[in-house]
A and B are shown apart, each in its own frame.
Chain A
Amino acid sequence: MATPVARKTRKPVRGGAEATQAPPEPMAPAGPETPPPMPTAMIGTAAVTTGRDVSAPMPPALDEAAGLSAVAVGWVYNRAITHLWSYDASTGVWVWVDGIGWKRLSPTSEFGHSHMTVLATVATDRNLAVDYHEDAAGQIDQLLV
């Protein structure tokens, strides 16, 4: 096994533009096969977003009735992501949340956008339920798979 490399310990800071929201504190799960608890109260604050880029392309309509969904602001639990859509921008990924509609992954940072894309991809591929948090602009700024 490779010798581990010492790294400086970094404690998550909550709140502000440089915030690193921590996942919900795990309470004792009910059994060995039980996944960790769902996010309850939001810990920290939502990522500061740049707002919707009105010049960016919009995803194709998959459900005429649903279209672009309303802003929820806060946590949404136990949903399926069934489609992914992206356009030629580094933060241009949208996800289709079953029963809700298209949601853009927050473009706050390219890395954060990529990280949430990775999680959304595996959720779609393996039909894994997700919990997510919407910011004030209706974009997903926290994703739990």
Chain B
Amino acid sequence: MSSERPHTAEIASVRETLAELGNPWQAAETRMSRLPDDWRAARLGVPAPTDEEIAERAGQPSAMAAAARAAVGQSVSAMHAPGVSLPAAFDLRNVGGRGYVTGIRDQGGCGSCVAFGVLASIESTAAYTRGAAGLALNLSESHLYHVHAKARGYTCASGSWPDDLYSDCVTKGVTFEDYFPYSDAGAGTLNADWPNRLAKTAGVTNLTGNPAAIKQHIYSYGGVVSCFVVYNDFFHYKTGVYKHTTETVAGGHCVALIGWDDAAGCWIGKNSWGTGWGDGGFFRIAYGDSFMEDYPGARPTVFGCTSVSLRAWLPAQRALRLFATANDANGWAYLENYGWAHLAGGSHTTTTKLAELTHARASGHTVSPFINGAELSSVLVAD
């Protein structure tokens, strides 16, 4: 066996174990498999738990799995939820034929996974709570990690925690990717206009240790960020429902959970290791496994948010519906890739905006909107 390909022996060993277990998942050579151990570890950006912390959680996996399964049928009251009770399976990538999960990203050789997990959950919530599958929000992990997290003293080597980074998304906000494109080294410059191209979150909710609450949140508001323990075989995951086959811990990692499947007994996760790992960058992991619902230690590690406000110009899109009432300044537009937006600025500007928007609606011209919170502040209609 070639010394340049030590992972082939690793994968063979994992496959052997999986075969004994009935092949619940498939191991294959992934882009992570090919990395040396220290490069793999560099991508694990959650401080690893101690052996004692893991030992203290011995009964947790089975308890979490039971709680996750028991949640089916639980009533749901949130406005955005597509049903009134938790279904046995749900996947934000396909809700009535529409997807609310943004593309797979690649964190590169930096322990910035928490920024990727947090922003994956925010991007999902922004689209899902608006019923706007085409929103295609792409927020800047560089801004969140190399600026906000750095200000807290976090580095690529130190890793970070989702409560801190979510807090920054509430108080400071995160700009769009095109204003500070991601580089694992933190290279590049933040666009000085970033306060005018910003997403801020509200309603951040701690869901740690409560599988039913995690499901409720995903179903009602979109994806959640979660930390878990990475065992050495996880790097070779290709498809299926992952359950760790080794007790060798590589470190801690952070991802977004975007759905579940009770029949298979698993969560559906979105990773940040590019599309060359896992099932196109996604994975399924057994309920309770790897402490996904409650990371060993005292710190809460599963969070979601209930709303995302934007302040930015959005791409040109159609105004599909217009709405007005007998009240003074109550005009609304339903933008194809955003959803309903209230026309800002009072009675006179509502009149002028409605004039522009009715023209666009009737002629098929697209509208470039400047969104400020839930308000449509400016409208550009052009050929």
Please list the residues of chain A having a beta carbon within 8 angstroms of any beta carbon in chain B. Answer: 1-7, 9-12, 18-23, 25-32, 35-36, 47, 49, 105-109, 111-116, 118-119, 121-122, 125-126, 128, 135, 139-145
- By a CB distance below 8 angstroms, the chain B residues around A10 are 342, 344, 375
Do most interface residues of chain A lie in helix, strand or loop, or is the interface mixed? loop
- Closest Cβ–Cβ distance, residue B309 to chain A (whole Å): 8
Q: How far is the CA of A20 from the CA of B322 in the complex (A)?
A: 15
Contact (Cβ within 8 A) A26 B330: no
CB neighbours of A9 from chain B (8 A): 309, 372-375
Question: Which residues of A have CB within 8 Å of B98?
Answer: 28-29, 31
Rounded to whole Å, the gap between the CB of B179 and the closest CB of chain A is: 14
Docked pose: A108 CA to B220 CA in angstroms = 37
- Tell me whether B82 and A28 are in contact (CB under 8 A): yes
Q: Do residues A5 and B323 form an inter-chain contact, with CB atoms below 8 A?
A: no
Interface stretch of the complex, out of B62-70, B280-288, B353-361 = B353-361
User: Distance in Å from the Cβ of A38 to the closest Cβ of chain B?
Assistant: 10
Beyond A22-B342, A122-B361, A144-B322, list 4 extra A-B contacts (CB 8 Å).
Answer: A111-B347, A118-B324, A141-B325, A142-B326
Q: Which residues of B contact A19 (CB under 8 A)?
A: 327
- Kindly provide the distance from the CB of A89 to the nearest chain B CB, expressed in whole angstroms: 15
Can you name 9 A-B pairs with beta carbons within 8 Å?
A10-B344, A28-B98, A36-B320, A105-B326, A116-B326, A125-B362, A128-B362, A139-B326, A145-B361
Inter-chain contact B350/A11, CB cutoff 8 Å = no
* Interface residues of B, dominant DSSP: mixed
CB neighbours (8 Å) of A28 from chain B are 82, 95-96, 98, 131, 133
* Given known A28-B95, A122-B358, contact A20–B82 (CB-CB < 8 A): no
B378 within 8 A of A: yes
> Residue B134 contacts which of A2, A27, A32, A143 (CB distance < 8 angstroms)?
A32
Given contacts A4-B313, A122-B361, A142-B323, contact A23 B354 (CB under 8 A): no
Bin chain B's interface residue count. 35 or more
Contacting pair A26 B196 (CB below 8 A)? no
Min CB distance B217 to A, Å, is 17
Residue positions of B touching A, CB distance < 8 A: 79-80, 82, 95-98, 130-134, 196, 309, 313, 320-332, 334, 336, 339-340, 342, 344-345, 347-348, 350-351, 354-355, 358-359, 361-362, 368, 370, 372-375, 377-378, 380
Of A27, A108, A141, the residue contacting B131 (CB under 8 A) is A27
Query: Chain A's nearest CB lies how many Å from the CB of B319?
Result: 10
Cross-chain contact A11 with B374 (CB below 8 angstroms) = yes
Q: Contacts A19-B327, A22-B332 hold; do A126 and B313 have CB atoms under 8 A apart?
A: no
Of B79, B309, B324, B344, the residue contacting A7 (CB under 8 A) is B344
Q: Give the distance in Å from the alpha carbon of A82 to the alpha carbon of B233 in the complex.
A: 68
Q: For residue B340, which residues in chain A have a CB less than 8 angstroms away from its CB? A: 22-23, 25-26, 36
Tell me which of B327, B339, B342 contacts A47 (CB under 8 A). Answer: B327
The complex places the Cα of A106 from the Cα of B345 at a distance, in Å, of 22
Q: Determine if B334 and A109 form an interchain contact, defined as CB atoms under 8 angstroms apart.
A: no
CA distance A22 to B358 in the complex (A): 18
User: Within 8 Å CB of B327, what residues of A?
Assistant: 18-21, 47, 108-109, 112
